[in-house]
Chains A and B, each alone.
Chain A
Amino acid sequence: MSFEVAVSRMIGDTHITCSFTAKPGLTALYGPSGAGKTSILNMVSGLLKPDRGRIVVGGEVLFDSEAGTDVPVQLRRAGYVFQDARLFPHLRVRANLAYGLRQGGLMSLDDVVAFLGIGHLLDRWPRSLSGGEAQRVAIGRALLSDPRFLLMDEPLSSLDRARREEVMRTIERLRDELCLPVLYVSHERSEVERLAGTIIEI
């Protein structure tokens, strides 16, 4: 099993609970905005601590409230691709990509640059990138940190139709060629049906 998640957490007045087990491949968390999908990604990444529950990814226990296990964010090795890319504005694309670089990882900088087709962007500042370019750089930055799994939070939502297709193809290749477990959040039915092997409705 790639993801085993059973968590609950109060955020303000909203009670977020979620429980699922996912097969290897890409798993989509699908549901309306405001249902707490992003909160679940944040809990899996370690940015948000569940009140109770258990999170296991690829056989490794990342969080278990009963056993008192809580692996810190820095050590979870989640490749988190945020909805808004979150590139570091004071670093050029090359330095953004290298920020979390782990030597001996699955892919080298050159591999990732070739895989994503972003070689021409390396010396640019993030603010000069289009939405699709920024999102591909964000995916590259996550891959270079040698993640054990990927978390993607509506990576297509800020893009227009043409860019969407371009990033969607990238995600399909990630899924098929890298064999990383992916947890993918979206509220677009068509997107989820095309990409996901498992769909969890939230």
Chain B
Amino acid sequence: MSADEWEIIRLSLKVGAVAVMACLPIAFALAWALARGRFPGKLLLDALIHLPLVLPPVVTGWLLLLAFGPAGPAGAWLERALGITFMFRWTGAALAAAVMALPLMVRAMRLSIEAVDRRLEAAAMTLGASRWRVFRTITVPLALPGVIAGTVLGFARSLGEFGATITFVSNIPGETQTLPLAIYSALQIPGGESAVARLAIVSVVLSVAALVISEMLARRMGRGAHVL
């Protein structure tokens, strides 16, 4: 593999990791609200979160462009407040990947939070545990396999992100050109087949590795779970 190809892999992993890490607390909070909360507009929130799953990714990319572009309200605010810019930068690729991964992460986490036996939480409360302690010591550990599964799923989805990314931040080698975009570019070049094959194999290996790691982690965490 060439140095350029290693660079593509490194960038893809960076974009995926940053996207998922930034998404994790937001996804967990949203999953919690959907699983446990009772508030007006819950259905609307649910629909909004799932939008990236059903919209054409190009539309999602265009909406990101409207919101986070230099003229967009969110983009202008973030640049002023935190000095973060997205246009034609890897941070934009990470943002697009995060938005696309969010529904998958929220879904997996919501299911695992809903599966936590609330009678165990009640038992902990009779033993004198505060709500916060119950959350930390009972709810989160029991939901953890689902949280990990959701995170890995989101990471795999981030690695595969194409449509929203290319629409939002274009296809710039070394900055926004992740694996799928590089494969797409290589396909346009005569004689690029061997590069395509190499990068495709890398994609498969990374995806399988992510799934295997999540399965192993979930098993280790869930060692004592699913009883009584």
Contact = CB atoms under 8 A, between A and B. Distances in A.
B204 interface: no
A74 B224 CA distance: 26
Interface in A42-89: 45-47, 73-80, 82, 84-89
Contact of B125 (A73, A89, A92, A127): A73
Interface in B61-82: none
Q: Is the interface of A mostly helix, strand, loop or mixed?
A: loop
Nearest to A42: B122
B185 interface: no
A87 B225 contact: no
A2 interface: no
A100 B120 contact: no
Interface stretch (B106-114, B126-134, B169-177, B207-215): B126-134
A91 B224 CA distance: 7
Given A47-B125, A73-B125, A99-B124, A89 B228 contact: yes
A46 B125 CA distance: 9
A102 B129 CA distance: 11
Q: Is the interface of B mostly helix, strand, loop or mixed?
A: helix
Interface residues of B, number: 21
A134 B127 contact: no
Interface string B184-228: 000000000000000000000000000000000000000111111
A38 to B, nearest CB: 11
A125 B225 CA distance: 9
Contact of B130 (A47, A74, A78, A102): A74
Interface in A94-142: 99-100, 102, 125-127, 134, 141-142
B128 A77 contact: yes
Nearest to A75: B128
B51 interface: no
Contacts of A186: none
Interface in A122-179: 125-127, 134, 141-142, 145
Nearest to A91: B224
B123 A80 contact: yes
B174 to A, nearest CB: 45
A45 B224 CA distance: 28
A75 to B, nearest CB: 8
Nearest to B226: A89
Contacts of A75: 128
Given A85-B228, A127-B228, A145-B127, 5 more contacts: A46-B126, A74-B130, A76-B126, A100-B127, A125-B227
Interface of B: 119-120, 122-130, 137-138, 141-142, 223-228
| Leading 5 A-B pairs by shortest Cβ distance | A100-B127, A127-B227, A86-B123, A80-B126, A125-B224
6 contacts: A73-B122, A77-B128, A78-B126, A79-B126, A125-B223, A127-B227
